[in-house]
Structure 1
Amino acid sequence: MKIKFVSIMAFIVIIALAYSSAAQNRIQKSKGPVVKFVKNGASKKVDVIIDGKLFTSYWWPDTVYKPILYPLLTAAGTPVTRGFPIKAREGERRDHIHQVGNWLNYGNVNGIDFWGNGSEGKRNVKAGEIKHISIEKLSGGTGEGSMITTAGWIAPDGKQLLAERTELHFIAKGSTRIIDRITTLTAGNIPVTMKDTKEGSFGIRVARQLELPSKEDVTLTDANGNPTTVKKMSNEDVTGNYRSSEGITGEAVWGKRSKWMDLYGNIGGEKISMVICDHPENLSYPTYWHARGYGLFAANPFGVKDFTNGKEELNYVIPAGGSLTLKYRIIISSGSHLSDAEINMLADNFASKY
C-alpha cells in the first residue's frame, strides 16, 4: 500500500513539473514577439523579421542613392509605404521617384543636393550620395532587435562630407510596431553647412490610401527651382489625414512645428496610425514638418527660412570634426487610430529612453 502511495505521489510531482514547465514556456512566449534579422548580401539588404513575418528591410540599392527602410508593414502585413519605384502597385502616384520608403538626408549640404538624387530616374551627376559602408551590429531578441550601420555622405567629386553612424531599434508591442533611429553625423576636416531648404530630411513616402484626398493639380518647386506637377487623382479609398501634437490637421500642418505628427487612415478594413515623433534633444525641437497631402511625410529641423517665409533663418553648421545627432521614432499602429494620450505616452517613452 505504501509503495502504491509513493508511486501516486511521484506521478503527481511529474505532472506538476510538466505543468510548471509548460506554464513557464507560455510566460516566456507572452513576453513579446521575436525580432530577428536575415542578411542578404547579394541583394544589399537586411530583412527585419517579427514572429516569422517581414516588418521592413534595411536596404542600400544602387539605384536609390541612400540607405532606406523599405517597405514598412503593419503588424497585419499591410504596406504603409508607396511601392513605386521599386515594386509599383496599381493606382499609385509615380511622381518624385527619389522618395522611397523611409530615409534621412538633406537637400543642401555645402551646396550639394542629397535629397533629390535620383529624381530624374537616374543618378544626378551634381547631387550627393549616401553610401552604405557597414553593418556593425545585429542583435535580435524578444520584443526588440537592434542594428548599427555606418555610411558616408559623398560629394560628386568623391570626397566624404559627413560620416554617418546610425542605431536602429525595431520594437514590437502587440499590434504596434516601432522604429527608433539615432543618427550621428560627423564632419571631416572642413565645416559642413546645412543651408535652409524645405527639402529634408527624415522622410517617409506613404501608400496611396494614406494620402490626403486631392482636390486639384499641385505644382511644387524643388531646391533648384524646377517645377513638378502633382496630378489630381481619383480619391477612391484615399482616407489619410494629418494631426499634429498642437491640434493642427490636414494640409495646414505643412511648415508648422510640433512634437509629433500622426498620419491616420484606413487601408481596406484596417485602421492605421503612422506617427513620427521628434526628440527633445533634437535641433529645432519641436521640429518643422515638410508633410504634404500627396504622400510625403517628413520632419525637417533645418529648413527654417522656407517654413517661416523668410522671417527666420538657421543655416546650421557642423564644425570641422564636430557632430550632430538626430533621434526619431516611427510608430505604426494596426487596427486602431491612436489617441493623443496613447501617442504622448509613446513619445514620452522615446524621450526618456535615449
Structure 2
Amino acid sequence: MKRYLIIGCCFFSMQLDAQTKKVRFNEDTKQQKVDVLIDGKPFTSFLYPDNLEKPILYPLQTASGLTVTRGFPLNKRGNERTDHPHHVGLWFNYESVNGLDFWNNSYNIPTEKKSKYGWIRNVKVTEAKAGNNKGSLSYTSNWERQDQAVLLKEKTTFVFSGTDYTRTIDRTTTLTAQKDTVYFKDVKDGMLGIRVTKELELPSDKEESYTDNNGIVTKISPTNNGANGDYLTSAGKKGNDVWGTRAAWCLLSGVKEKVPVSIAVIDHRKNPGYPTYWHARDYGLFAANPLGQAIFSNGKEHMNLTLKPGQSVTFRYRVIITSGKNQTTEMLGKEALDFNK
C-alpha cells in the first residue's frame, strides 16, 4: 500500500513501511575521504586521494548491507573480474576533453603515455550537511592536463537519502570552462559510470575485446562467477539490447546472497542529450553517456559539446539502490517524475 503526498510543488511516493532515515557524515581529511552513513549504517564513502585519477563514491551498499559495486582495484575479491582498472565505484568523467582521455586514466597507463590522459584533481570538500531525512555533500575539483593546466572547474553536490529498502543519490555536477574553449568529442566512454558486483553482471559465454581511443586493448573472458543480472529501460529494452539505446531510466537487477538487489539510474530532462544513451555492458559497466551519440546511433546522430571560456554545463542524475524488494516500472516512472520536478 502506498500514500502519495503533495508538498508545495513536489510529488512524493512513500511506502508506509519505509520511512526516511537520518544521514550523517564522518570526514577524514588526512585520508581524503568522507564516509556516508544512513540510519547509522555505512552506505558509501566519497574518496579523493591523490593516487586516484578522479574522485569516486566507493563502495555502494544496500540498506541491508550488501555491496553492489566491484571491489577491484581497491579491494580485490575472490572470483571477481580484474579488467578495466579505471572502473572504480561510481564516478563521473569523459573519454575525450580537448583530446585528453579522462575516462580511461588509471595507475595501469604507462608513464610514456600519461600525457594523453586527463586528471580530476585538487578536490576540496566544501560542505557536509547531515539531516534527519537527507544529507548533502558538496565538493569542487579541477579537470586538468598532466602539466596541471586547468580545463574545467567542477562543482558537484550529492544528496543522499534512504529508507528500510532503498539508498538514493541525487548528483548535480556543473562544469565550467576556464581559459581555453573546451571540446567534448562525440565518443563512446562517458559520463556517469558504475562498475557493479559480479552478481549483477549479465551471464555471458563469449570472450570480447575492447580498445580505448589510445589503442589499449582489454580482453573480457566469459562469465563463470554467479552472474545473474539483467537490464531494463523505460523504453522496454532488456539485457544486451539496452546498450546503445536511449531511455529516461535504466534498471540493473539481480540476486546476491539470495536477496533481490538492483541499481536504477534516472536521467534528467534538462541534461544535454536527454534522454541519454546507455553504455551498459554485460561484464558489469553500467554507464549513462548523453554525449557519445555517433557510435550509439551508427552515425545518424552527433553531439559535440563545446564550452567557451566562462561557459558552464550541468548534469543531473538520480541513482536508486534497492534490496529485499524489486523496483517496478511504475515505481521508477514515479521516481523519474519526482526527480524531474
On the 8 A contact 2:203/2:228 being kept in 1, the answer is yes
Matches within 5 A, 1:55-204: 55-118=43-106, 120=108, 124-204=114-194
Asked whether 1:320 is paired with 2:315, we answer no
Asked whether 1:348 is paired with 2:337, we answer yes
Question: 2:227, 2:115 → 1: CA distance?
Answer: 36
TM-score (norm 1): 0.88
Paired amino acid for 1:240: G
Question: 2:109, 2:88 → 1: CA distance?
Answer: 12
Question: 2:123, 2:82 → 1: CA distance?
Answer: 30
Matches within 5 A, 1:149-298: 149-235=139-225, 237-298=226-287
On the 8 A contact 1:265/1:337 being kept in 2, the answer is no
SS in 2 for 1:299: strand
Q: What is residue 27 of structure 1 aligned with on the other side? A: none
Paired amino acid for 1:298: A
Question: 1:213, 1:48 → 2: CA distance?
Answer: 32
Q: Which stretches in structure 2 are left out of the alignment for 5+ residues?
A: 1-17
Question: 1:64, 1:96 → 2: CA distance?
Answer: 14
On the 8 A contact 1:35/1:143 being kept in 2, the answer is yes
Pairwise CA RMSD:
1.4
Which protein is richer in helix relative to its size?
Answer: 1
Question: 2:207, 2:142 → 1: CA distance?
Answer: 37
**How far 1:121 moved relative to its partner?**
5.8
Superposed CA offset, 1:200-232 (max 9, x none): 110000000000001110111212233221011
Paired amino acid for 1:177: R
Distance 1:111 1:197, change over 3 A: same
Distance 1:88 1:39, change over 3 A: same
On the 8 A contact 2:22/2:133 being kept in 1, the answer is yes
**How far 1:143 moved relative to its partner?**
2.0
Q: Higher relative contact order at CA 8 Å, sep ≥6: structure 1 or structure 2?
A: 2
| Bigger radius of gyration among the two | 1
Question: 1:319, 1:257 → 2: CA distance?
Answer: 28
**How far 1:31 moved relative to its partner?**
5.6
**How far 1:133 moved relative to its partner?**
2.5
Q: What is residue 20 of structure 1 aligned with on the other side? A: none
SS in 2 for 1:164: strand
SS in 1 for 2:117: coil
More deviation, 117-126/31-40: 117-126
Q: What is residue 307 of structure 1 aligned with on the other side? A: 296
**How far 1:64 moved relative to its partner?**
2.3
**How far 1:309 moved relative to its partner?**
1.7
On the 8 A contact 1:207/1:295 being kept in 2, the answer is yes
Paired amino acid for 1:135: V
- Give the aligned length: 322
Distance 1:167 1:137, change over 3 A: same
On the 8 A contact 2:19/2:164 being kept in 1, the answer is no
**How far 1:119 moved relative to its partner?**
6.1
Q: What is residue 17 of structure 1 aligned with on the other side? A: none
On the 8 A contact 1:218/1:229 being kept in 2, the answer is yes
Q: What is residue 14 of structure 1 aligned with on the other side? A: none
On the 8 A contact 1:76/1:334 being kept in 2, the answer is yes
On the 8 A contact 1:243/1:263 being kept in 2, the answer is yes
Question: 2:216, 2:20 → 1: CA distance?
Answer: 48
SS in 1 for 2:116: coil
Question: 2:118, 2:166 → 1: CA distance?
Answer: 35
